[in-house]
Each structure stands twice: as structure tokens, then as C-alpha cells.
A = this chain, B = another copy of it.
Amino acid sequence: MTRAALIQQIKIKKSFLCIGLDTDLAKIPAHLLDDEDPIFSFNKAIIEATEDLCVAYKPNIAFYECYGVKGWKSLQKTWEVIPKNCLSIADAKRGDIGNTSTRYAKAFFDEDVSGLGFDALTIAPYMGHDSVIPFLDIPNKWSIVLALTSNPGSRDFQNFTNASGVELFEYVLDKVKAWGTPENTMFVVGATRGEGFLSVRKHVPDYFLLVPGVGAQGGSLQEVCKYGMNKECGLLVNSTRGIIYASDGKDFAERAREEALKLQKEMQVELERAEIILAQ
């Protein structure tokens, strides 16, 4: 999906919501556990109930990989039912030396080789340019590079500061933006790091940001938009637990839709306020 197509979807759906698919057998409704592939049954129902309200789905690969071969089958089936008008993001945090990153790119981007053809992949930058560039080299795919994450440990290294006062996450933004373009690169910036958005936008005013941490992790959508939104939106705000685990009963998909709708309405207000869409 191109940047222009993504922006078009945001305007059509009046939403920049990404729904995380961190699908956990211990949390999904009990009645699904007798299905042949409960994880896939759950994801399919969630997707069908919410696809008009969000512009992206983000399976968290660890939640599939932990079941080995079986989990990869669930992941493949899930990827196949993500609608083509939604950005499909493999949240995998991969990154390794060049010839190995090339393989990870095949794993998530090359359907003919791996059975998976995600639009985007999250990438860990610690190993530097030859660990990131192989992903950027794949046409029509997105690399979403970790910058400032939403977790408590993000402060351990991401705020490590050089003698000029530049923090590591800022240095990552500056380096990586020179390797990619706003057409193929995004950055992960956690909603729990509200104060960080001003600084992030100084470095990458035009890039899309994938923003986890709204909801269960405590981040505020309004604060994210105040400091992080640009004139083309430039945000994909992820919510997972608040949507997919809104109910553990038979009404789980309906309740997920209700929660997604609440967020979509809040997002519409923000898009109207920023004059990205016309107020109705």
C-alpha cells in the first residue's frame, strides 16, 4: 500500500486506527477453544467486525511464533483475511546483518517464498544500516523502525545522550531517515512518551509514526495528536487490549466493534480539528 493510498483510506474511514492482534489463548472467549484453529477464528471475527473502522492490522508475531509450526499456520491464515484496503503490519522487531535481514524480508514480504506478504514490518535498529536497508530495498513495502518505544525499559538506552545533547532515539531518526523516504519508512513512537513527540517531529516532520501505548499502557490519544499529527495525519495509532479483549463472551466481536467505533469517533474529531477532513 502506497503512502497516498494510506492517506486516502484515513480520509475515507475518518480513522487512523491500527488494531493489534496479540491473540492470546488464555484471553479469547472459551467457546472458541474447541475450534480447529481458535487464534484464527478469533482474528477473523475481530477483523470482520472492525475492518471499516481501522486502516491497519498489526499481528504481534511473538503471539504466533510461541506456538511454533501451528502458530505460523494461524499467522498465515490471519494475514490472508486482512483486507487489502488495510495496511498489514507484521510486528516482529527484526534486524540482523545484511544477508540475514534479506531473509527476514522474504519471511514477511515475499508471499511466494514464505506464504506471507505483509505490507509493513517493525524493525529494531541496533545493528545499523546494513540491518535496515535490506528491508527498504523491497519495493512497495514499509519498514517501521523502533525509535522511542512505549515500555518502561525504553528509557534505558533510547535516552542515552551524546555530548551535544542528542539522545539515541533522535540519532536513530536522523540516520534512518537518510536511508529511507517518507514513502517507505515509518517510526515507532510510544504514546506513553507524550513529551517525546515534539522532539520526534523536529527530526521527522513528514514521516508516518506507528504509535502503540494508547489505552491499556496509559497513553492519551489527544496528547498524541496535539504533538504528533502532521498535515497528512502522519499517525497510525494502535490499540490492542482495549478492543480485542473488550469481552471474553460470545459478544466479543460486537464489543470489539463498539470499542473500535469509540476510538474512530475520537479520531474523526482530531482529523476534523486538523482540517485533514471536513467537519460534518
Residues of A within 8 A of B (CB): 22, 60, 62-63, 65-69, 71-73, 76, 91, 93-101, 103-104, 106-107, 110, 113-116, 124-132, 146, 149-158, 160-163, 168, 171-172, 175
Contacts and interface: CB of A to CB of B under 8 A. Distances in A.
A99 B63 CA distance: 10
A160 B160 contact: yes
7 contacts: A63-B103, A66-B114, A68-B115, A69-B69, A91-B96, A124-B124, A127-B149
A88 to B, nearest CB: 15
Contact of A115 (B69, B131, B157, B163): B69
A107 B113 CA distance: 22
Given A124-B126, A168-B168, A151 B66 contact: no
Contacts of A152: 128-130
Contacts of A106: 66
Contacts of A76: 68-69
Say how many copies of this protein the assembly contains: 2
B162 A146 contact: no
Given A157-B128, A163-B163, A172-B157, A107 B149 contact: no
Nearest to A188: B127
Contacts of A125: 126, 156-157
Given A101-B62, A107-B65, A162-B161, A151 B126 contact: no
Contacts of A113: 66-68
Contact of A72 (B69, B151, B163): B69
Contacts of A127: 93, 124, 146, 149, 151, 153-154, 157-158
A65 B157 contact: no
B160 A163 contact: no
A95 B68 contact: no
